Amino acid sequence: MDNLAIIGGTGLDALGILDVHKREVVETPYGSPSGAVARGTLFGKEVLFLPRHGYSHSFAPHKINYRANLWALRELGVENILAIAAVGGIRNDMSPATLSVPKQIIDYTWGRASTFHENENDQVLHIDFTNPYCEDLRQKLLASASSANVNMIDGGTYGAAQGPRLETAAEILRMERDGCDIVGMTGMPEAALAREINLCYATCAVVANWAAGKGQGEITMEDIETNLKAGLSDVSRILEALLS
Ligand code: HPA
């Protein structure tokens, strides 16, 4: 797997296993990305890394400059993007600390800059988004999980919520009726923007908590952090299989 960038999400924004040898500050026509792009070695391969929420986790999901992040990565020669994302589990088997590679998206976000083609002189662009994720990278992730003996669910529909608050129980029931299996706040417009500039993009979703109303009691940050830590060690085994 060459020309790979990893975009890390909540709890997954310090890829400590990456041996960083350079940090690249890139300005784009869309403004600044969430931070300098780290270039380093991961399991013997050169990989780029960008923390979606910034190095000090300061950008809320609706404030992330998704366009600048993807543009900067493409400027640096990236062709493949692995998005690591914390999500809430809706479907029964999407329990905390489970990993999945979603296959579909339903977008509930609003007010986010969601295309590179919005200036008056630009040609309006209608990308095909029937299958929002890059199937080639999805299959590589699943094969890597299998060879690393990590359980990773193939498929599922990612519901992209606006945040930054978590959902109400009724909102999650609606998302479930719509067909969502997991819920996160950053999957869109990231996936669509990647498609617009021909980047192969897939998500490794790590279930951080039961979505609102699906578990017992309140959702706490402590529980989320514990589950993400457990999930992240599995992610690192998958990356080792993917890269070596
Ligand atoms: N909802 C939305 N986004 C999330 C959640 C959730 O329950 N958990 C982690 N990211």
In a domain, residue 122? The reply is no
The domain tally of the chain equals: 1
Quote the pLDDT of residue 14: 60
What are 6-24's pLDDT values in tens digits?
A: 999 766 556 667 888 999 9
Q: What is the pLDDT of residue 2?
A: 84
Distance from residue 135's CA to the centre of ligand 1 (Å): 24
Per-residue model confidence (pLDDT) at position 38: 94
Is residue 237 domain-resident? yes
What pLDDT does 1 receive?
A: 77
pLDDT per residue of the chain (244 residues) written in tens, 0 to 9: 789 999 997 665 566 678 889 999 999 999 999 999 999 999 999 999 999 999 888 899 999 999 999 999 999 999 999 999 999 999 999 999 999 999 999 999 999 999 999 887 878 889 999 999 999 999 999 999 999 999 999 999 999 999 999 999 999 999 999 999 999 999 999 999 999 999 999 999 999 999 999 999 899 999 999 999 999 889 999 999 999 8
Structural domain contains residue 214: yes
Indicate the SS3 state at residue 192. Answer: helix
Q: Which of 76, 36, 83 is nearest to 190 (CA)?
A: 83
Residues pairing with 51 in the sheet: 8
Strand partners, 88: 183, 209
Q: Is the Cβ–Cβ distance between 182 and 207 less than 8 Å? A: yes
Who contacts 181 (Cβ-Cβ below 8 Å, separation ≥6)?
A: 89, 90, 91, 94, 100, 102, 156, 157, 158
Residue 55 lies in a domain: yes
- The finding on whether 78 has its CB within 6 A of some atom of ligand 1 is no
Whether 91 maps to a domain, the answer reads yes
Tell me: the pLDDT tens digits for 215-224? Answer: 998 999 999 9
Pull the structure tokens for residue 233.
Answer: 């060690």
- Look at residue 11 in the predicted model and tell me its pLDDT: 64
**DSSP reduced 3-state for 236:** helix
99: domain CATH number is 3.40.50.1580
| pLDDT of amino acid 19 | 87
pLDDT of residue 123: 81
Distance 120 CA to ligand 1 centre (A): 36
Q: Please tell me the predicted confidence (pLDDT) of residue 56.
A: 84
Mutate to test the pocket of ligand 1, among 209, 229, 232 (most ligand atoms within 8 A of CB): 209
What confidence score (pLDDT) does residue 18 get?
85
Host domain of residue 229: 4-112+130-243
Closest Cα partner for 138 from 189, 94, 203? 203
Ligand 1 pocket residue status of 160, Cβ below 6 Å: no
Question: Is the CB of 185 within 6 Å of ligand 1?
Answer: yes
Residue 12 counted as domain residue: yes
Whether residue 76 is contained in a domain is answered as yes
- Compute CA distances 144 → 50, 235, 236, whole Å: 22, 10, 11
**What is the C-alpha separation between 53 and 185, in angstroms, rounded?**
11
d(C-alpha 2, C-alpha 137), whole Å: 12
124 in a structural domain: no
Sign of the alpha-carbon torsion through 133, 108, 227, 53: positive
